[in-house]
Amino acid sequence: MIKTHYRTCNLCEAMCGLEIEYEHNHVISIKGDKEDQFSQGYICPKAVALQDIYEDPDRLRKPLMKTDSGWKEISWGDAFDEVASQLKSIQSKYGNDAVGIYQGNPNVHNLGAMLFGSTFARSIRTKNKFSATSADQLPHHFVSQFMLGHLLLLPVPDIDRTDYFLVFGANPLVSNGSMMSAAGMPKRLKQLKARGGKLVVIDPRKSETAQIADQHLFIQPGKDVYLLAGIVNLLLQRDPELPDYYRSLEQLSAVFSRFTPDLVHNLTGIDQNVIKKIVVDFCKADSAVCYGRMGVSTQQHGTLCQYLIYLINMLSGNFDKPGGFMVPTPAIDVVKATGPKGTIKKFNRWKSRVKGLPEFGGELPVVTMAEEILTSGDGQIKAMITNAGNPILSTPNGVQLDKAFSSLDFMVSIDIYLNETTRHADIILPPATGLEVEHYDLVFNNLAVRNIAKFSDRLFSPADGSLEDWQIFKELASRFKKQSLKDRILSFFMKPQKMLDYSLKRGPYKGLTLSKLKKLKHGIDLGPLQPSFPERLFTEDKKIDLAPTILIESLKQLETAKGISKDLLLIGRRQLRSNNSWMHNSQRLVKGGDRCTLFINEKDAKDRRIEDGSKVTVSSRVGRVDLKAKVTNEMGQGVVSVPHGWGHNRTNTKWAVAEANAGVSLNDLTDEMMIDHISGNAAFNGVPVDVMPAN
């Protein structure tokens, strides 16, 4: 008999509701759930990958151990014992920091990993913790920590009510929104325009989102900081009236007055009147919000850009206001649950050994991971744990990291594929995943443009003997931390559903329990975002510091002499049918020809005698790759673009479809020396490159 299952897609941040028809353990169809309280039927082409991953013959289902004669399946018990014994022996020989951990993106899309991953990571007692955060949204956390007092107190654009949406370096039509969970982005943007609202996009490429905008401004990669500072300067000249929970306003004028429209024009090429008009329109709109994502977070001024975006929203009176920049009130308040007050201490408590980069939130910047493995001496990393991550393809200078991982004494990966990263492991522990697990979005409800809640049951039971991520973490942690009787009793009761129910009951919505949520197959809408400041602040004085010293000092030193760069600069490009590095083993998603191409402007192509469709060689300080060029004036002059997550051409991987559609890795060109100097975040955008016809 054909049955229907409702769940939330956990592949990206959008949280789309799915309606899945199935019979026994076979999926018949995956469609958008029209009754879903958040997505109302919207899905993107990636949703079907949940079926493909479930059925994928390449997906790992049993622990693997590397032997001289190849990979060998072993039992879970033997795998855990071997992992614990190897890691412990390395730690006793070289110290705790000799074991490093890298946690990848799917962790935050995984209920079990969210509940148990950090306990596991803590049990290893190492200072060498890394994650995809420092190749992504670290600047947002940094600014929230310094201005709002908690790194998870993250404002999002109230996109459904805004009248003016000013977007820097984000492409929500393709990414479906990031640090802004909003299923159904095309419809939401259409509604913005239908109610007379404006969409303005600043991007070195006329992206899919820029193409539907009222206004698109090309910008040279990395130059946003000047435009943003120029906007702040003009806002300050309007003498903003601010609520009394803001402080240090008086410090700002002296710092920002040099960012005149003329200076901004010289540094960005953007016309003075265009800049002034943006400020006038932004202030005139009933509500307005400025928002920036990967394009501005992962560049050399990432943290300053996010700081200036927060300031623009605050100085224009749009912070914590409907239609502006608001902090959601999720049913499970992860901010409260994780927050000691006055958390400014969570920065620079230790530094990386080789480059001296600061810790933030307990982690070191991932740009430094390879050198921490390759540089000998006290505190060198000798063993790695990777968990739901593919840093060989997703962090700068993948070739160097390849070399680093192959030099390790031991490596264990918790992952569902034998891919570019996990091929270096000695042991792979593959969890049940996707349709086989329960789901609740602990992280993305914290970033959603409406307050909602939904619980998804598992659709299929995991294959016989499979374990889930949380069970793997629990098993491993128990081997690292001595368990008292109390620990063991507590651990027996610590299961995802129990923990969810406990947290829901302590959340802001009275009467919302897990059993109630389980009956609401399409989720529950808890209403639009609500103003909640200054009560929500975690700062000690309950005020927002508009001028945190570290940010203001860095702005004062900001170089303004250089003008427009003559180099050809490389940026990334997300694609609707990809998801970082791991959705290329789905035939349905990769079909339709090679998408791993270099986009280049007509003039830049002509200057280099490059023809549309021809092979080109792209080289940077760290490496070179050959790929096909597409000549398009979507690209601003002097900027080229390559999508990331491809490059499945390394040896000894086991994902056949991906290998047959290999592409090249953008991160064989990006440079681990290019960083955001405040936070240590990777600067993927604006890498100087040479492009020429191949051979």
Ligand X SMILES: Nc1nc2c(c(=O)[nH]1)N[C@H]1C(S)=C(S)[C@@H](COP(=O)(O)OP(=O)(O)OC[C@H]3O[C@@H](n4cnc5c(=O)[nH]c(N)nc54)[C@H](O)[C@@H]3O)O[C@H]1N2
Contact positions vs ligand X (CB under 6 A): 12-13, 104-106, 110, 132, 135-136, 168-172, 174-176, 178, 202-205, 207, 219, 221-222, 224, 293-296, 299, 387-391, 394, 414-417, 419, 431, 433, 469, 571-572, 574-576, 578-582, 644-645, 666-667, 670, 684-686
Cβ closer to Mo ion: 136 or 371?
136
Least separation in angstroms between residue 178's CB and Mo ion is 6
Q: Among the candidate windows 50-58, 134-142, 235-243, 398-406, which touches Mo ion by CB under 5 A?
A: 134-142
3-class DSSP assignment, residue 77: helix
- List the one residue out of 302, 321, 281 whose CA is nearest residue 168: 302
Buried b vs exposed e over 43-66: b needs ≥16 C-beta within 10 Å? Answer: bbebbbbbbbbbebebbbbbbbbb
Residues 287 and 163: beta-carbon distance below 8 Å: yes
Q: How far is the CB of 205 from ligand X (least distance, A)?
A: 4
Work out how close the CB of 414 gets to ligand SF4 at its nearest, in angstroms, rounded to a whole number. 22
Tokens standing for residue 676 = 């955001």
CA–CA gap between residue 691 and residue 597 (Å, rounded) = 13
Q: Which residue is nearest to ligand X (CB)?
A: 295
Residue with tokens 């110290």: 95
* Stated length of the chain: 695
Backbone dihedral angles phi then psi of residue 198, each to the nearest 5 degrees: -115, 140
DSSP reduced 3-state for 349: strand
For residue 596, the minimal CB distance to ligand X (Å) is 12
Cα 218 from Cα 269, distance rounded (Å): 9
**Residue 267 or 524: which CB sits closer to ligand X?**
267
Among ligand SF4, ligand X, Mo ion, none, what does residue 512 contact (CB within 5–8 Å per kind)? none
Site for Mo ion in 594-623 (CB under 5 A): none
**CA pair distance 466, 229, nearest whole angstrom:** 53
In terms of CB distance, is 156 or 174 closer to ligand X?
A: 174
Q: DSSP labels for 409-435?
A: SEEEEE-SSB-TTGGG-SEEEPPP-GG
* From Mo ion, ligand SF4, ligand X, none, interface partner of 63 (C-beta below 5 to 8 A by class): none
Residue 550: phi and psi, rounded to 5, are -60, -35
| Contacts to ligand SF4 by CB under 6 A | 9, 11-12, 14-16, 43-44, 46-47, 176, 183
User: Which of ligand SF4, ligand X, Mo ion, none has residue 43 at its interface (CB below 5 to 8 Å by kind)?
Assistant: ligand SF4
Supply the minimum distance, in Å, between the C-beta of residue 394 and ligand X.
3
Q: Which of the choices ligand SF4, Mo ion, ligand X, none does residue 147 contact, using the CB cut-off of 5 to 8 A by kind?
A: none
Question: What does 11 interact with, of ligand X, ligand SF4, Mo ion, none (CB < 5 to 8 A by kind)?
Answer: ligand SF4
Minimum CB separation of residue 184 from ligand SF4 in Å reads: 8
Indicate the residue among 168 and 533 with the shorter CB distance to ligand X: 168
What helix, strand, coil percent values describe the chain, rounded to 5?
35, 20, 45
Q: What residue 644 binds from ligand SF4, Mo ion, ligand X, none (CB within 5 to 8 A, per partner kind)?
A: ligand X
CA–CA dist 631, 465 (Å, integer): 51
Distance (Å) of CA 600 to CA 571, 638, 690, 692? 11, 8, 12, 11
Residue 439 beta carbon to ligand SF4: minimum distance, rounded to whole angstroms: 11
Shortest Å, Cβ 577 to Mo ion: 17
Min. distance of Cβ 343 from ligand SF4 in angstroms?
30
Q: How far is the CB of 472 from ligand X (least distance, A)?
A: 8
Q: 446, 546, 500: which is closest to 151 by C-alpha? A: 446
Give the residue with the Cβ less far from Mo ion, 162 or 175.
175
CB of 132 to Mo ion, least distance (A): 6
**Nearest to ligand X of 159, 170 (CB atom):** 170
Element (H, E) at 569: strand 568-571
Contact 572, 294 (CB under 8 A): yes
Least separation in angstroms between residue 82's CB and ligand SF4 is 35
Among Mo ion, ligand SF4, ligand X, none, residue 300 binds (CB under 5-8 Å by kind): none
Residue 162 or 419 having the CB closest to ligand X? 419
Task: Answer whether 231's CB lies under 8 Å from 219's CB.
Answer: no
> Smallest gap, in angstroms, from Cβ of residue 114 to ligand X?
11
Assigned token pair, 442: 């602990």
C-alpha to C-alpha distance for 666 and 642, rounded to whole angstroms? 6
DSSP 120-188: HHHHTT-S-EEEGGGGTTHHHHHHHHHHHS-TT---EE-TTT-SEEEEES--HHHH--SSSB-S-HHHH
Which of 136, 158, 224, 501 lies at the binding interface for Mo ion (CB under 5 A)?
Answer: 136
Q: Which is nearer to ligand SF4, 384 or 416 (CB)?
A: 416
Q: Which stretch binds Mo ion (CB under 5 A): 136-144, 168-176, 269-277, 619-627?
A: 136-144
With beta carbons less than 8 A apart as the criterion, state whether 447 and 180 touch: yes
Rounded to the nearest 5 degrees, what angle is found at the Cα of 448, between the Cα atoms of 442 and 450? 120
CA neighbours closer than 13 Å in the CB half-sphere of residue 339: 21
C-alpha distance across the termini of the chain, in Å: 59
Q: Which of residues 40-79 bind Mo ion (CB under 5 A)?
A: none
Residues 330-359 that bind Mo ion (CB under 5 A): none
Q: Whose Cβ is closer to ligand SF4: residue 578's or residue 667's?
A: 578
User: Which is closer to ligand SF4, CB of 17 or CB of 398?
Assistant: 17
* Closer CB to Mo ion, 136 or 426, in the complex: 136
Pick one of ligand SF4, ligand X, Mo ion, none as the site partner of residue 415 (Cβ within 5 to 8 A by kind). ligand X
Query: Which residue ranges make up the site for Mo ion (CB under 5 A)?
Result: 136
